[in-house]
């Protein structure tokens, strides 16, 4: 699962680079839907990686010489479940706090000295701009 999510993340990046190169990055709704759907993939991949890694940590178990039952950790199952729950709570708290902070920033009004979006033009801020754009060139209106 972790490898699959990693490949999907790479595919999203390559797809967006290809569409950027063709000049269709902002006109492709399927890319936008895919990007939104991949939002929590980092959290899922980290958690899935942890779940897969922990059972594989048996460094002293040798096939045919030492059984898993003889080499397991003395930690009880409830302690492992508690550890997993703690990781899940921390990850979801960090993710939720980040989303809350972003929404808080998005809801802030513009300061009086900043301009609003251009009038009659789409706002496209992604990518590298070839040169700085002056406010006089864009017909900007002051924020209200």
Q: Beta partners for 140?
A: 118
Span 72-122, pLDDT tens digits:
778 888 998 999 999 999 999 999 999 999 999 988 887 777 776 666 665
Give the model's pLDDT for residue 34.
93
Domain boundaries, the chain: 2-110
Burial class of 127 by CB neighbour count within 10 A (0 to 12, 13 to 18, 19+)? exposed
Give the model's pLDDT for residue 96.
96
DSSP code, position 114: S
Span 27-72, pLDDT tens digits:
888 999 999 999 999 899 988 888 887 766 665 566 667 776 777 7
* Alpha-carbon radius of gyration of the chain: 24
């Amino acid at each position: 699962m972790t490898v699959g999510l990693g490949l999907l993340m790479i595919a999203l990046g390559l797809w967006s680079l290809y569409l950027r190169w063709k000049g269709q990055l902002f006109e492709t709704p399927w890319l936008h839907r895919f990007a939104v759907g991949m939002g929590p993939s980092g959290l899922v991949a980290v958690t899935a990686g942890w779940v897969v890694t922990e059972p594989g940590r048996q460094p002293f178990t040798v096939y045919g010489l030492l059984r898993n039952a003889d080499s397991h950790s003395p930690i009880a199952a409830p302690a492992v479940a508690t550890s997993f729950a703690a990781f899940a709570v921390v990850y979801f708290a960090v993710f939720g706090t980040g989303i809350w902070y972003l929404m808080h920033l998005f809801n802030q009004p513009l300061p009086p000295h900043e301009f609003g979006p251009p009038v009659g033009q789409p706002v496209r801020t992604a990518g590298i701009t070839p040169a700085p754009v002056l406010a006089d060139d864009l017909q900007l209106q002051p924020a209200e």
